[in-house]
Structure 1
Amino acid sequence: MISMPWAIYNRPSIQLGSLKAYVETNSEFSAHCFHPYLDIAAALGTDLYTTISDSSWAGEAVFSALLFEEKYPEAEKLFNKSLKKSAASASDRPVFEKTVKAVEEVCNRWLAETDWSSFQLVGVSVCFNQLLASLYISRKISNLAGSPPIVFGGSSCAGELGKSLLATFPWIDFVVDGEGEASLVDLLEYLTNQTGKLPDCIYSKAPVATSPLSQEITDLNALPTPDFDHYFKQLRITFPDSPFSPILPVEFSRGCWWNKCTFCNLNLQWHNYRAKNAEKMLSELSTLCKRFQCLDFTFCDNALPVGESKRFFDTMAQVEPDIRFFAEIRGTTSYESLLAFRKGGLDTIQVGIESLSTSLLTRMKKGVTTIENLAIMKHAMAAGIRLEGNLIVEFPGSTEQEVAETAENIAYVLPFHPLSAAAFFLGHGSPVACNPQEFGISAQLTHSKNKSLFPDSVLHTMTLLSSEYRGDRSKQKILWQPVRKKIEKWQEFHKLREDGQPPALRYRDGGNFIIIRQELADAPPLRHKLTGLSRQIYIFCSEIRTLDEIKKQFNSSKDSAILAFIDQLCQKRLMFREHSRVLSLAIRQRK
């Protein structure tokens, strides 16, 4: 089994590790895992490899030039354009010709070192940024004498995506749609015995008898712990000086328990949301930690299971090893849960913020409002957790009012860790793509960058993950420019602050007064003092409160005076109000 660039080099493939463990636990077959991206990272240097892997189009361009010689000039232009922002000047950008040549030499050397005829099947895991690399290496393998059949699987092979790969590229013999564990065992047994039927989620080049059997694992607790032995064996050879500590991927769940976001196509390969229990996850983590002597883990889940993850982190808080985690969580997670997660080792999270306009969030079906997004950004920082996320710009149908609201609300989130601008893309299978008229889309078109990567004859029969569309794209691009500029200034503000500094908006409590320090982007810091009732209201609104709750809590005060106080602090960006709900933004700075 093979995982190609541009997978993250300091992380073994969770797909290969899970498949290997399952195959060897549930059959008589053995599996060997190859991670050629380690060799390519060593040849290019890890900095350059990371630069290219961070830009999906640049990475695909390298292998487009190798797979389709006629596309070399266009691929080179796309490569240079994609990396333009990552280099201070043109002279700092990697040279395309040199990069392509180095990658080709590594691949040829790696292929020559292996006796491919000794394998019964070659499986290629195809996820984001791996399509052209996987097509290239699989074609090279198919041309070798005595090469075995080739099967593709992974998130980029779901449904019509996989069927189109099989129809377009003659060297692919099978494609697995969905989870691969049970399907891979069935395929191996079918190839060994040449009898029986294949599940209908396995697409075959040659006609075969199929049966509509579900191949999705119902109970994830029954899965064996992923086997990363081959990654670490290769790592010791390729990077003998151990210049970095690997981060181990783990999965608590599959699918997404929310699964309503209109722009999302991350769950095409899943039919249902399933999760392991906390005990299983703790056992798996303990095994991986001891076996590979790693202390950094990343959850691959689209959304952690709410109840079981709390039990997991509560237990981890009682464990001695200094283990750190990254996870993607929902924006509705409470401050108390974030504190518990942090005590259990969760130090970085990705949250689907996506927008700071509630009407736009509603159209995206995020299930949160702007004030709730502000709350989790604040609470994550207060809990000592780094929050990463995106603001989607150029969403089809965005109004001038929604864009203006987003731009205005960036001023309120200035103290918190900055988000990144992510241009909307039309993802295959997403609700927007399935209901285009609802979002003002009149036609779906082949992405212009894919036209630079694939010959027209190939594009004619392919279904790809992203498309362009006919609608209001040009209008949206212009409309969102002010927001992009504000995001850049937001990022610059935090770049100028030293690591480890206290929050840019913070307060200290004196018992009957508080002192708030507010750092600004283009002005000296401000100092605010709140005493008596003002202090009490501000602290009471550390969590989102409704106006009715505030009035009830401070019923001896005039409603007009309370509203005037709240509005005054909102104007100063010390509080945020959305309709009848209010949130104080400063974070308490304790001793």
Structure 2
Amino acid sequence: MTCGAVWFHVIPWCQRSSECVFMRNSQVVLVSMPWAFLEMPSIALGLLSGVLQRAGVTPVARSFNLVFMEWLRRHLPEGDEALSLADYRAISSAASAGLGDWIFSVPPFREPDAGGDARYLERLARDEVLPARLLSRLEALRAQVPGFIDACVDALLRHTPAMVGFSTTFNQNVPSLLLARRLKERAPQVRVVFGGANCDGPMGRGLLEAFDCVDVVVQGEAEGVIVGLVEDILAGRPVTPRHGVLVRGAAEPVGAPPPVRMDDVPVPDYGFFFEELERTGFRRELITNVKLPVETARGCWWGQKQHCTFCGLNGSSMAFRSKSVDRALRDFEELAARHRWLDFVAVDNIIDLAYLRELLPRLEARGLDLRVFYETKANLTRQQVRDMRAAGIHRIQPGIESLSTPILKLMRKGVTAWQNVRLLKWCAQFDVRVSWNILYGFPEEPAGEYPRMAAAVRSLTHLEPPHLSRLHVQRFSPYHQTPERFGLRLEGPLFHYGHVYPQRGARLEAIAYDFEYAYLDGREPESYVGELRRAVQQWGAVHERDRGRLTWRQGPGFVRIVDERESVGYASYLLEGAQAEAYLACDEGLTAARVHQLLHDQGHTGLGQDEVETFLRELTEAGLLYEADQRFVSLALRARPEMLG
């Protein structure tokens, strides 16, 4: 090749398919509305497009969340008034406050209510849901919604659809309903179908009864019913009610559709997302953060054994099943090859334990530079964490939720505080990022655990910090199903529903997912969580500046520990002989009695158990060990992790 010769060229995403979707007529259009995350395509649209294509129907899928961001960039003032990608994500992440829904709660969906809107914004400010800078611009964002919705209707009608399907989860409800209403006003012949998590259980029937712009609601897994539904609509027939398909004016069928066999689900195609992204002005800014959803399992195997008291994520679909290892591997490889992409988010609620033994080694053997997110339980072994990182799993959400074993028992998490800390350490050791929370406000929780946690976390600032969040009571959780049994009293839908929806009473309750509650014993968690809140905020600040390091190095007969954490300044510790062996033994989290036994077995017969326990407590006071449930967990990371066995 001569100097300066061009031997490659970049093919724009919109040119990688034979036909651009925005110029194609289709009788079926599938839509994902704001406030779905910008950096991830809708897996529902990708999967259902594949199912319909198998049946000979070629749908159009539209990522209107991307279109909305582009609309705002073009119509809002530039400079400080512009909406950044981070601003969009902050609003999207505030689903529990109903913020994304409120922005779209404009005529003709809901009539103006200046007083109610002012009270809603005051509540957001009081609860510090958003930075003041962004909070002050919400009305300007809201003013852009009518024009955006009309532009979306224009775009939909250019496809001449017979059916428009909306996938709605969390704060996509009102944006979807507003667009559906405007679409029906201009094209009443178009059949509107809703599906997604917001349609599960009573919420689906509630949406159908409350909003006449919705013709059909699909509940549960749509892969087994979407083809028959579309065939009815395209043939001009009335939609046949069937399991999981609710039809306006028809008798309600009994039960959800039967679960699909996971290996029969198509590999999703996300070409529509990249085509939409190519037409935005923020592609270059967003593209490095794009992650492709991949699904290898549904349901929750832990929830089948013991339903966590606060969790409502699985709704009516708790039964766990997963793809075969061969099929899971194929999903990663096919998606990577098709889209030339390597970053993935597994949308599974929990990883299949069999994958730890069978899938991870095969992913590692492929030699692909994948970056994958998975949800797990927190009682992983050190080898499992190491295998995850080697396979390309670089971030996990392990459901840690607390550093108090008594509170974890109230949650039914099936793990202990020392196991949670041990996992944080191992993840730091093997460079696996951790997304985790400390939840508070559980009924009957011992208040004294919070100052204890506040004191203990000061030794953890070299590890990944958590978010601190108050308990939410969600539909389908045990707290919602039998609140009195747990010491709670439900007090209707969460505050924001009344500021977002025009419905009231039973109709509003039917479509709500989050609920207000009171404690039967009259407790007020904010009165005892303040010290922990300050400790967690300081932890996060230290981590952002420079989390510092706490490391150990092995020498001949000794261990040198160097503490460079901000809270300490600098300290160095020399542990020799039995002391060094005792510290290294605590990697797994051991009792003083077990450490004493190990030292005895290694020939240190002159040490008493009291001496060993005193030494371990001294190291705990120095912040080198973490003690919980009479277990001691070492906190220092090996300076040379490649030396770990």
User: What is aligned with 2:35?
Assistant: 6
Q: Distance in 2 between matches of 1:561 and 1:458?
A: 65
Give the CA deviation at 1:548.
Answer: 4.0
SS of the residue corresponding to residue 136 of structure 1 reads helix
Give the CA deviation at 1:17.
Answer: 0.5
User: What is aligned with 2:295?
Assistant: 251
Structure 2 unpaired stretches of 5+: 1-29, 73-83
Residues 209 and 249 (structure 1), Cα distance of their counterparts in 2 relative to 1, 3 Å cut: closer
User: What is aligned with 1:288?
Assistant: 335
Asked whether 1:43 is paired with 2:71, we answer yes
Residues 220 and 397 (structure 1), Cα distance of their counterparts in 2 relative to 1, 3 Å cut: same
Q: Distance in 2 between matches of 1:14 and 1:47?
A: 22
Pick from 482, 499, 512 the counterpart of residue 452 of structure 1: 499
User: What is aligned with 1:24?
Assistant: 53
Residues 393 and 115 (structure 1), Cα distance of their counterparts in 2 relative to 1, 3 Å cut: same
Q: Distance in 1 between matches of 2:247 and 2:238?
A: 15
Residues 106 and 309 (structure 1), Cα distance of their counterparts in 2 relative to 1, 3 Å cut: farther
Asked whether 1:506 is paired with 2:548, we answer no
Moved over 6 A (4+): none
User: What is aligned with 2:514?
Assistant: 466
Query: Could you tell me whether the CA contact under 8 Å between 1:361 and 1:367 is conserved in 2?
Result: yes
Query: Structure 1 stretch 287-296 or stretch 409-418: which is displaced more?
Result: 409-418
SS of the residue corresponding to residue 285 of structure 2 reads coil
Q: Which amino acid aligns with 1:506?
A: T
Q: Distance in 2 between matches of 1:17 and 1:286?
A: 16
SS of the residue corresponding to residue 143 of structure 1 reads helix
Q: Which amino acid aligns with 2:443?
A: P
SS of the residue corresponding to residue 584 of structure 2 reads helix
Asked whether 1:493 is paired with 2:542, we answer yes
Q: Distance in 1 between matches of 2:522 and 2:499?
A: 20
Asked whether 1:135 is paired with 2:185, we answer no
Question: TM-score scaled to structure 2, two decimals?
Answer: 0.85
Asked whether 1:325 is paired with 2:372, we answer yes
Q: What is the CA deviation profile of residues 204-261 of structure 1, one whole-angstrom value per residue up to 9, with x for unaligned ones?
A: 21115847674321x2111111021221221212248533322111011111111121
1:86-125 alignment, distance < 5 Å: 90-91=132-133, 93-115=135-157, 118-125=160-167
Pick from 218, 231, 247 the counterpart of residue 273 of structure 2: 231
Give the CA deviation at 1:523.
Answer: 4.3
User: What is aligned with 2:99?
Assistant: 58
Q: Which amino acid aligns with 2:295?
A: E
What is the RMSD of the two structures over their aligned residues, measured on CA atoms? 2.4
User: What is aligned with 1:515?
Assistant: 560
Give the CA deviation at 1:415.
Answer: 2.3
Q: Which amino acid aligns with 1:101?
A: A
Pick from 237, 241, 244 the counterpart of residue 194 of structure 1: 237
User: What is aligned with 1:527?
Assistant: 572
Residues 79 and 306 (structure 1), Cα distance of their counterparts in 2 relative to 1, 3 Å cut: farther
Q: Distance in 2 between matches of 1:509 and 1:401?
A: 39
Q: What is the CA deviation profile of residues 539-572 of structure 1, one whole-angstrom value per residue up to 9, with x for unaligned ones?
A: 1111122444322211113222111111211222
Q: Which amino acid aligns with 1:504?
A: R
User: What is aligned with 1:207?
Assistant: 250
Q: Which amino acid aligns with 1:254?
A: R
Q: Distance in 1 between matches of 2:159 and 2:372?
A: 40
Q: Which amino acid aligns with 1:9?
A: L
Query: Structure 1 stretch 381-390 or stretch 435-444: which is displaced more?
Result: 435-444
SS of the residue corresponding to residue 439 of structure 2 reads strand
Asked whether 1:381 is paired with 2:428, we answer yes
Pick from 470, 480, 504 the counterpart of residue 529 of structure 2: 480
Asked whether 1:242 is paired with 2:284, we answer yes
Pick from 589, 597, 617 the counterpart of residue 567 of structure 1: 617
Q: Distance in 1 between matches of 2:533 and 2:255?
A: 48
Q: Distance in 2 between matches of 1:304 and 1:355?
A: 20
Q: Distance in 2 between matches of 1:340 and 1:364?
A: 29
Residues 30 and 537 (structure 1), Cα distance of their counterparts in 2 relative to 1, 3 Å cut: same
User: What is aligned with 1:553?
Assistant: 598
User: What is aligned with 2:483?
Assistant: 436
Asked whether 1:303 is paired with 2:350, we answer yes
Residues 210 and 440 (structure 1), Cα distance of their counterparts in 2 relative to 1, 3 Å cut: closer
Query: Could you tell me whether the CA contact under 8 Å between 1:197 and 1:210 is conserved in 2?
Result: no
Aligned length: 584
Query: Could you tell me whether the CA contact under 8 Å between 1:199 and 1:215 is conserved in 2?
Result: no
Give the CA deviation at 1:481.
Answer: 2.0
Query: Structure 1 stretch 116-125 or stretch 297-306: which is displaced more?
Result: 116-125
Q: Distance in 2 between matches of 1:73 and 1:35?
A: 34
User: What is aligned with 1:220?
Assistant: 262
Query: Structure 1 stretch 255-264 or stretch 104-113: which is displaced more?
Result: 104-113
Residues 553 and 240 (structure 1), Cα distance of their counterparts in 2 relative to 1, 3 Å cut: closer
Q: Distance in 1 between matches of 2:393 and 2:578?
A: 36
SS of the residue corresponding to residue 258 of structure 1 reads helix
Query: Could you tell me whether the CA contact under 8 Å between 1:255 and 1:271 is conserved in 2?
Result: yes
Asked whether 1:427 is paired with 2:474, we answer yes
User: What is aligned with 1:370?
Assistant: 417
Q: Distance in 2 between matches of 1:63 and 1:74?
A: 15
Query: Structure 1 stretch 535-544 or stretch 313-322: which is displaced more?
Result: 313-322
The percent identity for this pair of structures is: 25
1:575-586 alignment, distance < 5 Å: 575-586=625-636
Q: Distance in 2 between matches of 1:116 and 1:449?
A: 35
Give the CA deviation at 1:586.
Answer: 1.1
Q: What is the CA deviation profile of residues 328-379 of structure 1, one whole-angstrom value per residue up to 9, with x for unaligned ones?
A: 1110111101111101111111121111111110010000000011111111
Query: Could you tell me whether the CA contact under 8 Å between 1:117 and 1:146 is conserved in 2?
Result: no
Give the CA deviation at 1:474.
Answer: 5.9
Q: Distance in 2 between matches of 1:512 and 1:277?
A: 48
Asked whether 1:179 is paired with 2:194, we answer no
Residues 553 and 271 (structure 1), Cα distance of their counterparts in 2 relative to 1, 3 Å cut: closer
Give the CA deviation at 1:2.
Answer: 0.9
SS of the residue corresponding to residue 528 of structure 1 reads strand
Give the CA deviation at 1:536.
Answer: 0.7
Residues 239 and 10 (structure 1), Cα distance of their counterparts in 2 relative to 1, 3 Å cut: farther
Give the CA deviation at 1:18.
Answer: 0.8
Q: Distance in 2 between matches of 1:486 and 1:137?
A: 44
Give the CA deviation at 1:105.
Answer: 2.0
User: What is aligned with 1:411?
Assistant: 458
Asked whether 1:273 is paired with 2:273, we answer no
Give the CA deviation at 1:83.
Answer: 6.8
Query: Structure 1 stretch 133-142 or stretch 464-473: which is displaced more?
Result: 464-473
Q: Which amino acid aligns with 1:468?
A: E
Q: Which amino acid aligns with 1:584?
A: S
Query: Could you tell me whether the CA contact under 8 Å between 2:184 and 2:190 is conserved in 1?
Result: yes
SS of the residue corresponding to residue 375 of structure 1 reads helix
Query: Structure 1 stretch 375-384 or stretch 412-421: which is displaced more?
Result: 412-421
Give the CA deviation at 1:81.
Answer: 5.2
Query: Could you tell me whether the CA contact under 8 Å between 1:310 and 1:340 is conserved in 2?
Result: no
Query: Could you tell me whether the CA contact under 8 Å between 1:58 and 1:80 is conserved in 2?
Result: no
